[in-house]
Amino acid sequence: MVRATEWVGIAVVILLVAVVALTLIAPYFGWRVDTVRADSKDPELKVGSVVVTRPDIDKAVAIQQAALKRCRADGFQVAVAVVDRSGTVQALLRDRFAGAHTPDTAAGKAWTAVSFRTSTTDLANETQPGKPSSGIRHLPRAVMIGGGLTIEGGGKLLGGIGVSGAPGGAADEARAKAGIAAIQSDLEF
């Protein structure tokens, strides 16, 4: 029979192992693990907090508007979605005459790029019928059409962008790249 004091010791060991593991894997996910004092003046940091880097809403909108501007200049009516690193939509615009399907498709492309950490053009090629990864095409929310890209800055995954409505995935991807390029220097913090 295990005594209460032994359970406390086991719990402390498990907690220490969890803290060490979190500290080791945090950089892979773009998290910054800080030691924060209880009297810290930073309102964003709490004792024992994990800081996750994400693009703020202003950057998400700037990326989106730059991509939309490029699409309009090229004569395309599209939808543009920007998601954070977890795939949650942060900004979504649909041009007046873009197809009704384009907002969902743009958000799906952005989610897919972030989820698989690669462009949807590359995924479309790697998931063709007969290839080992072809089953990925059947996952809910996965959109295997070009136009979804990851947004990276400072060596970390920050989020994703999806463009839908230009004639073909390559055209969508070119406009998504233009959106990222417009503020890339602001992302390198």
Give the SS3 label for residue 156.
Answer: strand
- The per-residue pLDDT for 46 is 52
With vertex at residue 35, the alpha carbon angle to CA 33 and CA 36, rounded to the nearest 5 degrees, is: 115
Domain ranges of the chain: 4-52, 57-187
Which CATH number does 57-187 carry?
3.30.450.150
CA end-to-end span of the chain = 54
- The per-residue pLDDT for 171 is 95
Q: pTM of the prediction?
A: 0.72
Give 10-residue mean pLDDT values along the chain (189 residues): 70 77 63 52 53 71 92 95 93 95 97 96 95 92 96 89 96 95 81
Name every residue whose Cβ is closer than 8 Å to that of residue 135 and which is 6 or more positions away in sequence: 127
The sheet with strand 89-94 has its strands ordered as 89-94, 79-84, 156-164, 148-153
- The per-residue pLDDT for 116 is 95
- The per-residue pLDDT for 8 is 74
CA dihedral (34, 40, 43, 44) in degrees, to 10, reads: 0
